[in-house]
Structure 1
Amino acid sequence: MPLFARFKLNNIESIFNDFPELETEGFKLRKLKKDDAKDIWDIYQNKDIATYDRAPFIRDEESAKDFIEELSELYEERIRIDWAIEDKRISKVIGLIVLFNISLVDSRAEVGYVLNRDFTNRGIMKYILSWLVDFSFNYAGIHKLEANINTGNISSIKVCESAGFEKEGTRKAHCFNKRTGIYMDNYVYGLINNRWDIIIERFE
């Protein structure tokens, strides 16, 4: 009788059936709307983002709307899920956080995040990332989260490490920066859900 391993808990597909919105007293993680275009444009006017990331080229509110529509389509295609980070106190989208490169077979996903520079150095992204880790492990049943961060992106590295991610290695000349013409090194970070388990069954 062959052995077959299955997940004890894996709700990854459910996040594509009904967009999960998360809310605390101060912040909300929700689906992006066309009305968020100005806030998204504000975020990506920070040209430093492109130094370490393949940031989308958003030149105005109209291109921000196109970007929002593209992310919505990728969600509908079950490829990735992008949350708007809304500061409820001022009703403003101050950042984005995403699960992408999702593997249902391996119960694994990669996380990425960006924050409006006017809201940095306040511990906000550390809080949001830790919140997403809790959701990913305890609701979605993800086994492992990963992050790929440019070796020079010190602030993002600090956020990742503060949320419990461990450095697993370095990818040399991993990403090509079209703005600088330089290949960039990335650190690979990972965080494993130790409560994750599998069930081994026998089939005739």
Structure 2
Amino acid sequence: MPLLARFKLNNVENVFNDFIELETEDYKLRKLTKMDAKDIIDIYENKDIMTYDRALFIKNESSAKKFIEQLNDMYEERERIDWAIEDKKLGKVIGLIALFNISVLDSRAEVGYVLNKDYTNKGIMQYILKWMVDFSFNFLGIHKLEANVNAQNTPSIKLCEKIGFEREGHRKKQDFDRRTGEYNDNYTYGLINDKWEIILEKIE
């Protein structure tokens, strides 16, 4: 009797049916609102982000609100999900983390993140990314997470490798740098859920 490999059922679609907030004692991952515009401006004041992040130029409150609206629209269109990283003690959004390029069929997604420069080198994003990996693997049932990192972004490269992502490829002249007018290389990273199993079914 022939066998059919079937992907393991995942909960990815549930994220789009009902926005899931995540919370610990210190941080909350929640949906962005236009009330977060000033915090978004603070994040994107760091001009280095323009080299590593694909977001539009955010210069003022109007463009920040437009950015938030675009992210929320893409969520409604089931293209990606973006969480605001809120420091609960400060009541301030200090970063963003997202799942995008989501394939429900392949149980695969890409993760991206950005952090206000005033909060870097404190282990915050390492904690948040570990949290997102755990959520993606153990709740969403994702088989593989991927990350594309600018080859010049040493902190992000180190972060991915600390979490356990493995470098899978080197894409030359992949991303356009709007500050320099040049194209930069990037590295592709992957992390596989080792608890994920393929289900084999008999075909009658």
Fold agreement, TM-score > 0.5? yes
Q: Hey, what's the Cα distance between the residues in 2 that align with 1:37 and 1:15?
A: 24
Q: Give SS of 2:100's match.
A: strand
Shift of 1:17: 0.7
> RMSD across aligned C-alpha pairs, in angstroms?
1.3
Map of 1:36 onto structure 2: 36
Q: Does 1:27 find its partner at 2:39? A: no
Q: Hey, what's the Cα distance between the residues in 2 that align with 1:124 and 1:44?
A: 18
Query: Does the 8 A contact of 2:97 with 2:112 survive in 1?
Result: yes
Q: Hey, what's the Cα distance between the residues in 2 that align with 1:45 and 1:169?
A: 31
Q: Give SS of 1:20's match.
A: coil
Map of 2:176 onto structure 1: 176
Structure 1: any 5+ residue segments left out of the alignment? none
Structural mapping, 1:63-82, within 5 Å: 63-82=63-82
Q: Hey, what's the Cα distance between the residues in 2 that align with 1:54 and 1:19?
A: 23
Query: Does the 8 A contact of 2:10 with 2:142 survive in 1?
Result: yes
Q: Hey, what's the Cα distance between the residues in 1 that align with 2:37 and 2:2?
A: 53
> Once the two structures are superposed, what CA deviation does each residue of 1:135-157 show, in whole Å capped at 9, x if it has no partner?
00000000000101011101111
How high is the sequence identity, in percent, across the aligned residues?
Answer: 71
Q: Give SS of 1:19's match.
A: coil
Aligned length: 204
Q: Which runs of 4+ in 1 moved over 6 A?
A: none
Query: Does the 8 A contact of 2:94 with 2:115 survive in 1?
Result: yes
Q: Hey, what's the Cα distance between the residues in 2 that align with 1:23 and 1:196?
A: 25
TM-score by length of 2: 0.96
Letter paired with 2:106: D
Structure 2: any 5+ residue segments left out of the alignment? none
Q: Hey, what's the Cα distance between the residues in 2 that align with 1:192 and 1:65?
A: 35
Query: Does the 8 A contact of 2:51 with 2:178 survive in 1?
Result: no
Q: Hey, what's the Cα distance between the residues in 1 that align with 2:21 and 2:153?
A: 29
Q: Give SS of 1:35's match.
A: helix
Q: Hey, what's the Cα distance between the residues in 1 that align with 2:65 and 2:3?
A: 49
Query: Does the 8 A contact of 1:54 with 1:177 survive in 2?
Result: no
Q: Hey, what's the Cα distance between the residues in 2 that align with 1:53 and 1:98?
A: 12
Map of 1:108 onto structure 2: 108
